[in-house]
Amino acid sequence: MSVPATVEPALSPAAPRIALLDVARGIAIVAMVIYHFTWDLRFYLLITLDVTAEPGWIAFQRAIVGSFVLLSGISLMLAHREAIRWRAYWRRFAMLAGAALLVSVGTLAFAAETFVFFGVLHALALFSLLGLAFLRLPVVVILAVAAVILALPLAIADPVFGSRWLGWIGLYDVPPLTEDLVPVSPWFGVFLIGMALARIGMARGWDHALAAVGPGRALGWLAKAGRWSLVIYLIHQPILLAALYPVAALTDPGPAFQAQNFTQSCQAECYASSGYVDYCTAYCSCALDRIQTEDLWALLEAETLSPQANDIIADMVQQCTAEAAQGQ
């Protein structure tokens, strides 16, 4: 998973920058670093906790995504309250789109099977384009559209949207394999709620009142983190992974990690080729049982396979395919 913030364009004198929004963004970026650090520990098999499967951590990740999307909707409305400032807008959009491209290229090289094709940066770039159409609409209309977009995944869940070509829409029954996916539905609905909240706040003068409140010395570092959140997002994962690598290289993960790592890798590869979750769960469970029973770990980790090893693997694949198919 990848959850970035964005750099806001400078606001005009009529739209002073709200430091407390920077603080909120800073809190979200710190939370994102914590989440990714924990994910990295699991990636290197230094802990058994899987943040992508633990309900509490899943909720934490979605709260982080929601925070950034909501804040971006608020920022768009505040930045272009009187008229769209096209130069600032396109500069910000280019930064988002360029950073999103870097994420896709980097994750494609790092993990081609689960690369980020429509993560949060891709989403925020698209949402900022779509949001332009809502800048002058009444709040009630913005909220009505937001409600529809939020509800769509509850009404529509079709396998046709499960591919990478259509997964960005969000109406899939099973999401496509990727490290980070922030689809239009429901997340653009959250973005629109942010725009509506900003409009309501502007009508009541809350924006100017909040702009007069400084972050204070205690929260000043969070405000700075919020202003540099895009940079932090782009560099923090390479730094964390590089820092943890020497520790992981000197650590023996043990049989429990080995089994868990095999299962996750097996299920990811199986699902990518078949698309059936139950089948892949049964197939990989069978394969793991065979590997543990016959102690085939050394065979799987060998750089080259002998004819005998190939025969053993072929027999295992045939056996587990048959067993998994029978369970369907």
Per-position DSSP letters for 88-119, written without gaps between them? HHHHHHHHHHHHHHHHHHHHHHH-GGG--SB-
Q: Where are the domains of the chain?
A: 19-247, 254-326
C-alpha 239/C-alpha 68 separation (Å) is 22
How many Cα atoms are found within 13 Å in the side-chain-facing hemisphere of 68?
31
pLDDT digit string (tens) for 72-97?
A: 999 999 999 888 999 999 999 999 99
Residue 292: pLDDT over 90:
no
212: enclosing H helix or E strand? none
Least confidently predicted of 157-171, 196-210, 235-249, 300-314: 300-314
Over residues 107-147, the pLDDT tens digits come to 998 888 889 999 999 999 999 999 999 999 999 999 999 99
pLDDT tier, 13 (very low <50, low <70, confident <90, very high otherwise):
very low
In the structure encoding, which two tokens stand for residue 321, read together? 């395919």
Q: Residue 46's pLDDT is what?
A: 86
**DSSP alpha helix (H) spans, the chain:** 19-43, 55-79, 86-110, 120-131, 139-155, 184-203, 206-211, 216-227, 229-249, 254-274, 277-294, 297-301, 307-326
3-state secondary structure of 234: helix
Q: How many CA atoms lie within 13 A of 132 on its CB side?
A: 12
* pLDDT band at 40; cut points 50, 70, 90: very high
Q: Report long-range pairs for 102-106 (Cβ below 8 Å, ≥24 apart).
A: 102/234, 103/2, 103/180, 103/234
Q: Give the model's pLDDT for residue 276.
A: 75
Question: Tokens representing 119?
Answer: 């993560």
User: Two tokens at 23?
Assistant: 């603080």
Structure tokens at 123: 């989403």
Q: What pLDDT band is residue 54 in, cutting at 50, 70 and 90?
A: confident
DSSP lists the bridge partners of residue 118 as: 181
User: For residues 224 and 27, is the Cβ–Cβ distance under 8 A?
Assistant: no
3-state SS string for 278-328: HHHHHHHHHHHHHHHHHCCHHHHHCCCCCHHHHHHHHHHHHHHHHHHHHCC
